[in-house]
């Protein structure tokens, strides 16, 4: 009888311990969730397969649906030009931005959470005799196209753009479609193109790939992290860390890769370093 009571006591004691373990584990998890102190906002801009404005879909949209689901917070989505997004993040009018390269200026007004990789290739007209960066500069009739407000994240490429700007040989566009259209019509003779953009936009332009060559002007520099930005006017460092942990979990558990596989093959993801290591 004594043994039976003792066994029951041990069993009950184990049950209580398990209950408290699960209770506190749940409490700890809940406490790590971001505080939903308002309806947040994110602005997308049309870029490659990250956001396809005409279809209102893309990797970034899937990511923010997942962020909303895992955080329990509402996130309002809209589209805006890239330059306007950076301005609104700085003022605190906007909470999140996407596909951002880190710079000293941006670090003054935003936190960064890495979620993908980016490498800018050069896409130049096939008829150019010298398709190198140096050759493009020497060709006085060659004009280079860029997106307004775009930071390439490479000292070499940004120095090239600065030099071309001083030579009055930079043509700015607001959207990727405009940029590719100008290259297709030979209004500009070169642009920078992350692989995803190169894969998407030429399909919309008849005969485009026959007129251009994809080349690497930046083989000596490392692949860059592309980040989700958090306005420092809105988020404390503590709150940012909670969101950052969710983003890391989306990357780590393979959810992000599933989003990429909607648009890229396994081979492309590896070859063009699209995902974090």
**The pLDDT value given to residue 166:** 97
Number of Cβ within 10 Å of residue 76's Cβ equals 13
Least confident of 84-88, 149-153, 191-195, 243-247: 149-153
**The pLDDT value given to residue 24:** 38
| Cα→Cα distances 178→22, 83, 102, 173, 220, Å | 55, 15, 25, 6, 29
Region 41-118+223-271: CATH code: 3.40.190.10
Model pTM score: 0.79
Number of Cβ within 10 Å of residue 116's Cβ equals 24
Block residue for tokens 């390439």? 152
Decide whether 41-118+223-271 matches 120-215 in CATH topology.
yes
Residue 180 scores a pLDDT above 50 = yes
Consecutive H or E run containing 30: helix 2-32
SS3 of 219, please? coil
pLDDT band with cut points at 50, 70 and 90 for residue 10: low
Q: Where are the domains of the chain?
A: 41-118+223-271, 120-215
pLDDT digits (tens, 9 = 90+) for 136-163: 999 999 999 999 877 777 889 989 999 9
User: CATH number of 120-215: 3.40.190.10, 3.30.910.20, 1.10.1740.10, 1.20.1260.120?
Assistant: 3.40.190.10
Cα–Cα distance for residue pair 153/100, rounded to 1 Å: 9
Query: What's the length of the chain?
Result: 277
């Amino acid at each position: 009888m004594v043994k039976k009571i003792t066994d029951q006591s041990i069993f009950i004691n184990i049950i209580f311990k398990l209950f408290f373990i699960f209770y506190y584990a749940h409490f700890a998890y809940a406490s790590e969730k971001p505080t939903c102190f308002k309806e947040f906002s994110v602005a997308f801009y049309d870029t490659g397969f990250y956001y396809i404005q005409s279809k209102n879909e893309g990797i970034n949209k899937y990511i923010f649906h997942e962020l909303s689901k895992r955080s329990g917070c509402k996130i309002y989505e809209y589209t805006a030009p890239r330059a306007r997004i950076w301005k609104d993040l700085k003022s605190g009018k906007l909470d999140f931005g996407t596909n951002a390269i880190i710079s000293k200026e941006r670090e003054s007004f935003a936190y960064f959470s890495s979620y993908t990789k980016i490498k800018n290739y050069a896409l130049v007209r096939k008829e150019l005799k010298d398709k190198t960066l140096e050759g493009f500069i020497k060709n006085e009739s060659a004009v280079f196209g860029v997106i307004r407000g775009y930071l390439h994240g490479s000292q070499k490429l940004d120095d090239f753009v600065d030099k071309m700007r001083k030579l009055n040989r930079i043509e700015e566009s607001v959207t990727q479609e405009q940029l590719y259209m100008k290259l297709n019509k030979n209004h500009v003779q070169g642009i920078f193109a992350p692989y995803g953009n190169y894969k998407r936009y030429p399909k919309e332009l008849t005969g485009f790939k026959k007129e251009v060559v994809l080349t690497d002007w930046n083989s000596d520099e490392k692949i860059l992290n592309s980040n989700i930005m958090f306005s420092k006017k809105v988020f404390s460092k503590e709150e940012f860390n909670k969101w950052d942990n969710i983003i890391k979990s989306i990357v780590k558990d393979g959810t992000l890769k599933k989003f990429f596989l909607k648009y890229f093959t396994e081979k492309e993801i590896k070859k063009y370093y699209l995902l974090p290591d």
